[in-house]
Structure 1
Amino acid sequence: MTATTTSPATTATGIDRSLPRLGQGFVWQDLHVGQRMRTFRRTITETDLVQFIGVTGMLEAIFIEDGYEGAAMPGRPVPGALTYTLIEGFILQTMIQGTGLAMLELHQKILAPVQVGDTIEALVEVTAIHPTSRHGRAVVTSRIDVHNQRGAMVMTYTATRLLAGRD
């Protein structure tokens, strides 16, 4: 029987902490102004709408009543907040997972309606990076343009976040 040795980076659970982590987001040093990325696509379902309005309390007639007679358009519109949170979910899961420290500021414009059955995706562009004086962090600003399956821009927003850096 051979004894095993552990490296200084190995924890009591046997996981070597020096190995790269799958799904780890970007530290600010890995980004540059003008860098562009796109998110995955996501088709919004009736279940997404029902669960979202149930959790948030957005029980407005246009969202809860199919065929609401006072609606400005046919179909099943979804709250702009649902569109925003789905895109932010993609960004969280990929770009800032484990490195995003805080959302500092958000400016948003909703340009066109999104309905159940629409497929959305976003283009993310890094527009500014400002390193801070504390712990290698930086304030990173991005413009996020959300498009539907027809290529129409349905939302645009600018997000300013605090991101971790390398020590």
Structure 2
Amino acid sequence: MTAEHTATPVDSSLPRLGQGFVWQDLAAGQRFRTFRRTITETDLVNFIGVTGMLEAIFIEEGYEGAAMAGRPVPGALTYTLIEGFILQTMIQGTGLAMLELHQKILAPVVVGDTIEAVVEVTDIRPTSRSGRAVVTSRIDVFNQRSVLVMTYTATRLLAGRA
């Protein structure tokens, strides 16, 4: 004997869990902080393997030409981990395009460091098309010692309410 299961179909008017902000929900000066994440040796190995960044400083333990102690992490890995947080929490389903990016790497990040970021919306310019807007944000990335390791400005196209 089988039990009959009934359920209400998915109601498309229900709020979607994890849905990002539409541009109308943001304001210049609004600030957010991301989750924190500790960068592991596995993160480094996977990243350099998939990107082909097989530079000696990243693949050779104790590389004698290194300018610092520890296992340095490419700035691109730090950036992409923070962007992952932003995509998952702030613009999931509403981010339409990255239009421009200006980045400065200010301090080294090594395996074992824990990073997080502060995102500040700095400008919102509605477009003439389909309720979209160009949203600019400044993202400051910090390590576990509150050292600013990276800052970047991202200009994105975000969806709006119809």
Name the TM-score class by shorter chain: over 0.9
**RMSD between superposed Cα atoms in Å:** 1.0
For residues 69-126 of structure 1, what are the alpha-carbon distances to aligned partners after superposition, in whole Å with 9 as ceiling and x for unaligned? 1100111000000000000000000000000000000000000000000000000000
Distance in 2 between the 1:103 and 1:146 partners?
Answer: 19
Which TM-score applies when normalising by structure 2? 0.95
1:10 maps to what in 2?
none
Amino acid at match of 1:149: Q
Q: Does 1:37 align with 2:25?
A: no
Identical aligned residues as a percent: 88
1:11 maps to what in 2?
none
1:63 maps to what in 2?
58
Q: How many pairs were matched up? A: 156
Amino acid at match of 1:54: G
Q: Displacement of 1:51 after TM fit?
A: 0.1
**Which secondary structure state, in structure 2, belongs to the residue aligned with residue 48 of structure 1?**
helix
Amino acid at match of 1:45: T
| Structure 1: 5+ residue stretches without partners | 7-13
Q: Displacement of 1:159 after TM fit?
A: 0.0
| Structure 2: 5+ residue stretches without partners | 1-5
Which TM-score applies when normalising by structure 1? 0.92
For residues 37-69 of structure 1, what are the alpha-carbon distances to aligned partners after superposition, in whole Å with 9 as ceiling and x for unaligned? 000000000000000000000000000001001
Q: Work out which of the residue numbers 109, 117, 120 in structure 1 matches 2:112.
A: 117
Q: Work out which of the residue numbers 147, 152, 156 in structure 2 matches 1:161.
A: 156
2:10 maps to what in 1?
15
